[in-house]
């Protein structure tokens, strides 16, 4: 699915802003005719979560209705018009002028419908959002407490099986856009490097049977182009860039890829995409970018901020990237769901390496409802790869975070997902992030072994030295058996801002400094460890429990308000490669 852009032959209208909103605690909205529009709604912002905006809805995860009205733009009378949602959590049903457009299940990924019921003047768009959490949704909640399928966490509210708040609502922009009926439908870009040459393989999928395509790549003093005939709504061609400027964190060189579709000698559609020429590969226990070993320094993150919840906020996005660059990070993982497409475009521009992850958090393989969970997981894997595969910043696919892979059947289900991912994109390594380590039945499927480790926090409690010793022994054993690169997806400790102690004790800022210092030094000394991400960039909201003060996970290097804790400067010294001397 193409990201919507304004071009010479495409137009879009962003419906973000103030919408009308109603909770539907009794599930009566359909019977009351709200599908055609409703009165007595209260204002809400789109995009944003409803939980922190609507009074009394903090822990409401049922049905709610959204409504907005708009006018069809001038000149769109002969166009194909679509309505696109960047993310709705968790299930969306959409009506336009009372006509059902369709439904979509699962948050964090885009979906769109043809706006066949669009009128010339006033149009009413209504969205029913079902935010219910449950054992057969992905990610899951209210899961049976079986040692094979659960961390056996203490009781918490809401009863999620994942450690972040299950925010509900329309979380990313809603776009209405127009194209000709003969138009580009999808685009796949893959790059190779041969000596000084960059080879760009371009595959097009079209609607409406245009006759031909002209593909142009320009940038860094070069312009190359080729033309191709379109057959069966498809075309494929390869362009060569002599003396290509490669994309990397040090030099995030981008080229402009422009596609023009023609019919009867006339251009009927135009689309452009920023691309980067680069390669990514695993060689033994090394991770190679453009043929050279790379070491990932960075963070796990969350799309999480005060009032907005999980809603897309450009200000927060820019600030978070500024903080990462100040510390000296070169990468992050989209833990634990796909982030907004705008985040990947910014990472392309800044040269940030991204591990793109599905929303499959703490997948469990108990047979009750398993077919439904597997169906959603497969749908999400495919949608994620099809959305993100043209971004040079994306260097690896993560198919899950901390799945409960104790049951033998988990290996077969993961093998299926790995085959799907590699068929959709054979150019990137594939992994998932395990907490079980050598006991994980699916670990050997990974191109890169990814582990979450909290030695000195959840184990070896309060004893950093013992935790480091055990972590070192475990990593050596896993590497000796697999002979694959190892990546540490998470390590960190809860740290209450302003709490100090001498000697350092758990939850103090001094303990976080010592923990991160010791862990980073150990991991840097292991040549087979290709990177590590601190958990987390910033403190974030989660469920209430006796282990989460004020419903917060305090493992951030920065507070939720984006202010540094003591450890931020220590990590900055250890990574010693900040791009700017400016203070955050």
Tokens of 484: 């694959």
Q: What pLDDT is attached to residue 124?
A: 97
Indicate the domain borders of the chain: 11-131+166-179, 183-275, 280-575
According to DSSP, residue 254 is labeled -
Reported residue count of the chain is 584
According to DSSP, residue 304 is labeled -
Confidence of residue 145 (pLDDT cuts 50, 70, 90): low
Taking the C-alpha atoms of residue 181 and residue 76, their distance in angstroms, rounded to an integer, is: 12
Confidence of residue 576 (pLDDT cuts 50, 70, 90): confident
Compute CA distances 351 → 429, 435, 478, whole Å. Answer: 19, 29, 31
Query: Which CATH number is associated with domain 11-131+166-179?
Result: 2.60.120.260
The tens digit of pLDDT for each residue in 259-308 reads 999 999 999 999 999 999 999 999 999 999 999 999 999 999 999 999 99
The region of weakest confidence among 60-64, 71-75, 214-218 is 71-75
Helix 370-388 vs helix 409-424: crossing angle, to nearest 10: 20
Pairing state between β 280-283 and 286-289: antiparallel
CATH class, domain 183-275, is mainly beta
pLDDT at 354 over 80: yes
The tens digit of pLDDT for each residue in 490-534 reads 999 999 999 999 999 999 999 999 999 999 999 999 999 999 999
H/E segment holding residue 479: helix 464-482
Confidence of residue 462 (pLDDT cuts 50, 70, 90): very high
Burial (CB < 10 A; 0-12, 13-18, 19+), residue 145, is exposed
Confirm or reject CATH 3.40.50.2300 for domain 280-575, answering yes or no: no
* Average confidence score pLDDT of the chain: 95
Q: What is the percent of the chain where pLDDT is above 90?
A: 92
The tens digit of pLDDT for each residue in 327-349 reads 999 999 999 999 999 999 999 99
Q: Higher confidence at residue 224 or residue 150?
A: 224
Compute CA distances 310 → 160, 307, 334, whole Å. Answer: 16, 9, 13
**CB neighbours of residue 543 within 10 Å:** 23
Q: What pLDDT is attached to residue 580?
A: 43
Q: What is the CA radius of gyration of the chain?
A: 24
Confidence of residue 148 (pLDDT cuts 50, 70, 90): confident
- Asked whether the bond before 533 is cis by omega within 30 degrees of 0, the reply is no
Pairing state between β 529-534 and 486-490: parallel
Pairing state between β 331-333 and 353-357: parallel
Q: What pLDDT is attached to residue 141?
A: 77
Provide the annotated active-site residues.
402, 490
Q: What is the mean pLDDT of residues 413-427?
A: 98
Taking the C-alpha atoms of residue 195 and residue 168, their distance in angstroms, rounded to an integer, is: 49
Q: What pLDDT is attached to residue 2?
A: 95
Confidence of residue 372 (pLDDT cuts 50, 70, 90): very high
Q: Specify whether the CB–CB gap between 531 and 287 falls below 8 A.
A: yes
pLDDT at 78 over 60: yes
Q: Of 187, 1, 206, which Cα lies nearest the Cα of 87?
A: 1
Q: Specify whether the CB–CB gap between 151 and 188 falls below 8 A.
A: no
The tens digit of pLDDT for each residue in 11-43 reads 999 999 999 999 999 999 999 999 999 999 999
pLDDT at 480 over 90: yes
Q: What is the mean pLDDT of residues 411-424?
A: 98
pLDDT at 310 over 60: yes
Q: What pLDDT is attached to residue 7?
A: 96
Confidence of residue 582 (pLDDT cuts 50, 70, 90): very low
Residue with tokens 């220590």: 570
pTM of the model: 0.96
pLDDT at 579 over 70: no
Helix 509-524 vs helix 566-575: crossing angle, to nearest 10: 20
């Amino acid at each position: 699915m193409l990201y919507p852009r304004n071009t010479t032959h495409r137009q879009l209208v962003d419906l973000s802003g103030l919408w009308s909103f109603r909770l539907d605690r009794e599930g009566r909205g359909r019977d009351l005719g709200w599908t055609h529009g409703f009165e007595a709604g209260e204002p809400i912002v789109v995009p944003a979560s409803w939980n922190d905006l609507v009074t009394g809805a903090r822990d409401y995860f049922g049905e709610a209705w959204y409504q907005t009205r708009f006018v069809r733009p001038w000149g769109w009378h002969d166009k194909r018009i679509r309505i696109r949602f960047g993310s709705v959590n968790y299930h969306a049903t959409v009506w336009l002028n009372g006509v059902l457009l369709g439904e979509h299940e699962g948050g964090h990924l885009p979906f769109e419908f043809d706006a066949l019921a669009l009128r010339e003047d006033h149009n009413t768009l209504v969205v029913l959002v079902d935010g219910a959490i449950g054992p057969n949704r992905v990610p899951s909640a209210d899961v049976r407490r079986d040692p094979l399928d659960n961390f056996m966490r203490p009781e918490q509210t809401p009863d999620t099986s994942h450690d972040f708040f299950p925010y509900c609502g329309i979380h990313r922009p809603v776009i209405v856009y127009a194209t000709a009926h003969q138009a580009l439908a999808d685009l796949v870009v893959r790059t190779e490097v041969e000596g000084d040459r960059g080879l760009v393989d371009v595959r097009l999928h079209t609607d409406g049977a245009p006759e031909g395509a002209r593909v142009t790549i320009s940038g860094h003093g070069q312009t190359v182009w080729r033309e191709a005939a379109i057959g069966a709504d498809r075309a494929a061609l390869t362009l060569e860039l002599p003396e290509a400027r490669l994309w990397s964190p040090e030099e995030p060189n981008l080229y402009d890829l422009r596609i023009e579709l023609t019919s009867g000698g006339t251009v009927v559609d135009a689309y452009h995409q920023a691309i980067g020429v680069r390669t990514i590969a695993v060689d033994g226990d090394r991770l190679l970018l453009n043929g050279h070993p790379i070491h990932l320094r960075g963070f796990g993150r969350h799309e999480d901020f005060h009032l907005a919840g999980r809603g897309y906020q450009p200000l927060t996005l820019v600030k978070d990237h500024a903080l990462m660059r100040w510390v000296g990070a070169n990468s992050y993982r989209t833990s634990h769901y796909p982030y907004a497409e705008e985040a990947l475009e910014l990472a392309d521009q800044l040269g940030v390496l991204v591990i793109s992850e599905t929303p499959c958090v703490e997948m469990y393989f108990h047979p009750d409802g398993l077919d439904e969970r597997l169906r959603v997981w497969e749908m999400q894997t495919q949608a994620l790869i099809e959305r993100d595969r043209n971004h040079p910043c994306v260097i690896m696919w993560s198919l899950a975070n901390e799945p409960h892979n104790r049951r033998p059947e988990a290996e077969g289900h993961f093998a299926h997902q790995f085959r799907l991912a590699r068929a959709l994109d054979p150019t990137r390594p594939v992994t998932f992030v395990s907490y079980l380590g050598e006991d994980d039945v699916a670990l050997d499927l990974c191109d890169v072994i990814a582990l979450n480790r909290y030695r000195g926090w959840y184990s070896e409690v309060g004893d950093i030295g013992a935790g480091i010793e055990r972590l070192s022994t475990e990593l050596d054993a896993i590497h000796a058996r697999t002979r694959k690169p190892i990546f540490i997806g998470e390590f960190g400790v809860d740290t209450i801002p302003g709490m100090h102690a001498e000697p350092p004790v758990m939850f103090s800022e001094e303990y976080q400094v010592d923990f991160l210092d010791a862990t980073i030094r150990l991991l840097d000394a292991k040549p087979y460890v290709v990177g590590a991400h601190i958990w987390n960039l910033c403190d974030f909201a989660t469920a209430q429990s006796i282990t989460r003060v004020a419903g917060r996970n305090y493992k951030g290097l920065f507070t939720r308000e984006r202010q540094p804790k003591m450890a931020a400067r220590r990590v900055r010294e250890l990574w010693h490669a900040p791009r700017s001397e400016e203070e955050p």
